[in-house]
Amino acid sequence: MFKSDELNQHTRPALPMSRSVTIARSISEIASILIILGGCAVLIGWALNIQTLKSIYPGFVTMKVNTAICFILIGVALWCFQTKRINKTWFHRIGLVFGFLTLLISLGSLCEFIYRCNLGIDQLFIKESTGTVFTPFPGRMAFNAAANFFLIGFIFLFLSTRKVKFIYVIQSLALLVSITPFISLISYFYGTVPFYLGGAVYIADISACRYYFYPDIHRDPFFEA
């Protein structure tokens, strides 16, 4: 684990766990499991060609394979970064690696959009037919989904340091990630395609839910000085 000032660690008063904090942590852990299960369900849908598992409703855009993989990665990372596990070296390493992989996959997709190139990652595992609803590039996750996964990857990298000085960075990134899914959802129902961009709507930033409503976050045992 990362080292911190031992004197400061011993002199910091222990913070009693309030009921709201306990609930928030439970929600975070349950969310991590649901995210993993959701990603696995989508992969099964693609592997067995089950349309109801690939899309939340007939006629809606399908969740792409790379998107499902990123869901699984951030779900596992979130599960590993729970306060009760973070002090165990292997959990910390797995969470860090999976967060970094999420960042790399999303960065590759962003580069494909920005530089109008094909890196071969969109249909690396499963081929998608052309002409799919709201899918100009078969197999490619939406731009806003890639951007959000990119930010979430950074959130986990900052969380892995367990440093109090990064709390506001983590909160700002999580807030930014939480905005675009709602814009995508509203844009989809109103048919505002430029805002929608074929994006999947998700709440993966649930990982930071307890950081919004926890006034003494700097004293949380998850973080070191």
Q: Say if 10 falls within a structural domain.
A: no
Spell out the per-residue pLDDT of the chain, length 225, in tens.
Answer: 444 443 344 444 444 556 777 777 788 889 899 999 999 999 999 888 888 888 766 667 788 899 999 999 999 999 998 878 878 888 989 999 999 999 999 999 999 989 988 888 888 887 777 666 666 777 888 888 888 899 999 989 988 888 878 888 888 888 888 777 666 666 666 655 544 443 333 444 444 444 444 444 445 555 555
Q: Say if 49 falls within a structural domain.
A: yes
Q: Say if 180 falls within a structural domain.
A: yes
Q: How many domains does the chain have?
A: 1
Taking the C-alpha atoms of residue 143 and residue 112, their distance in angstroms, rounded to an integer, is 9
Coil, strand or helix: which one is 224?
strand
What is the residue range of 26's domain? 17-122+130-219
Q: Say if 2 falls within a structural domain.
A: no
Query: Packing angle between helix 167-190 and helix 143-161, nearest 10 degrees?
Result: 160
Q: Say if 9 falls within a structural domain.
A: no
Q: Say if 225 falls within a structural domain.
A: no
Q: Say if 7 falls within a structural domain.
A: no
pTM of the shown model:
0.75
Q: Say if 105 falls within a structural domain.
A: yes
Q: List the Cα angle 105/107/109 in 5-degree steps.
A: 75
